[in-house]
């Protein structure tokens, strides 16, 4: 993927989160829960993914997991050093564990997950000093936009008698 020339240095987290939100929209378009993730390495997007659990019939096909796999392939290493993960929803315990295992040093998420958040809300897996690696975490970037897409999706699903 090519570097993005139009990065605003004053608000880079919002710039990248908008790209993660684009992935969330792609998930919605496929009938998936709209969560999107990107991984940035040295100001370049090296992975972008959306939830694909329904499409792949795979409970592990969260946006973060897919993006981590793509980034490892792109870098030729499972150690995702010098990377930042941007994700629209606070990672769950599975994804937080993968973040720790892949050595991602910085995680930025949009909206907290009161039912499954594992970076701040329910658990603090990514900052647990008992583990061999920790990640710095910044939550709440574009919180309202990230929350709104999820709320709209589930309102639509309930209106259709689904989920």
Q: Show which residues are catalytic.
A: 64
Half-sphere exposure of residue 50: CA atoms within 13 angstroms, side-chain side: 19
- Cα separation, 137 vs 131, whole angstroms: 15
Name the phi and psi angles at 17, rounded to 5: -65, -35
Report in angstroms the alpha-carbon separations of 87 from 64, 130, 131: 7, 24, 22
């Amino acid at each position: 993927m090519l570097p993005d020339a139009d990065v605003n240095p004053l608000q880079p987290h919002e710039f990248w989160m908008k790209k993660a939100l684009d992935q969330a929209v792609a998930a919605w378009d496929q009938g998936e829960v709209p969560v999107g993730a990107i991984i940035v390495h040295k100001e370049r997007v090296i992975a972008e993914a959306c939830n694909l659990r329904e499409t792949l019939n795979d409970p592990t096909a969260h946006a973060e997991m897919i993006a981590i796999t793509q980034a490892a392939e792109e870098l030729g290493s499972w150690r995702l050093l010098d990377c930042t993960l941007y994700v629209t929803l606070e990672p769950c315990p599975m994804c937080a564990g993968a973040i720790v295992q892949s050595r991602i040093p910085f995680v930025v998420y949009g909206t907290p997950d009161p039912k499954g958040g594992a970076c701040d809300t329910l658990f603090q897996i990514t900052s647990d000093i008992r583990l061999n690696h920790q990640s710095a975490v910044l939550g709440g970037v574009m919180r309202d936009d990230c929350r709104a897409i999820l709320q709209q999706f589930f309102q639509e699903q309930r209106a259709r008698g689904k989920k």
